[in-house]
Amino acid sequence: MMNFSLRPWQMEDLNSLVKYANNNDIAKYMNDQFPHPYTIESGKAFIQMTMKDSPVHIFAIEINGQAVGGIGIHPQEGIQRKNAELGYWLAQPFWGNGIITKAIGQMTAFGFKNYDINRIFARPFGTNIASRKVLENAGFTLEAQFSKTFFKNGEYLDELVYAVRRNA
């Protein structure tokens, strides 16, 4: 298992962010807020946005001093205010090392500690087998599957909803 840490994004991460995020094998599984190609301008805007958050809730995944991915928890509002959505990505050279599973565990603990929520959910594409396995390994349960609700790169994709509860 590779050592990693979660920490706030900083402008010094810009080059590694663009280097690793500019990858269609990552972008094809992300929502449209995650641009492809991933440019310097995109990276600057993203890092500036994360630095405005208080408390910080979107973190860089750091390995050997480099930001090689990101993970964030997004509290919901209104009648969904007891829920938070989890999102994450990891640079391709680091796939298959158990990093995201452990990062999800850390973010789940962070979310339940810092927010008045009872449920954390993630919505991977049905085609993203690796993400589904990672969520299951991190203790998330498949709650729902919606057929062809996502539209990405000209095709309809299934939306899965995985979740973990505070007192599961």
Q: Where are the domains of the chain?
A: 5-121
Check residue 167 and give its pLDDT. 82
Check residue 168 and give its pLDDT. 61
Check residue 53 and give its pLDDT. 84
Low-confidence residues of the chain, pLDDT below 50? none
Q: What are the structure tokens assigned to 50, written together?
A: 């994360």
| Average of per-residue pLDDT values in the chain | 96
5-121 is classed CATH 3.30.70.100: no
The C-alpha atoms of residue 12 and residue 48 are separated, in whole angstroms, by 11
Residue 117 contacts residue 75 (beta carbons within 8 Å)? yes
Check residue 14 and give its pLDDT. 98
Q: What is the pTM of this model?
A: 0.94
Check residue 157 and give its pLDDT. 97
Check residue 1 and give its pLDDT. 63
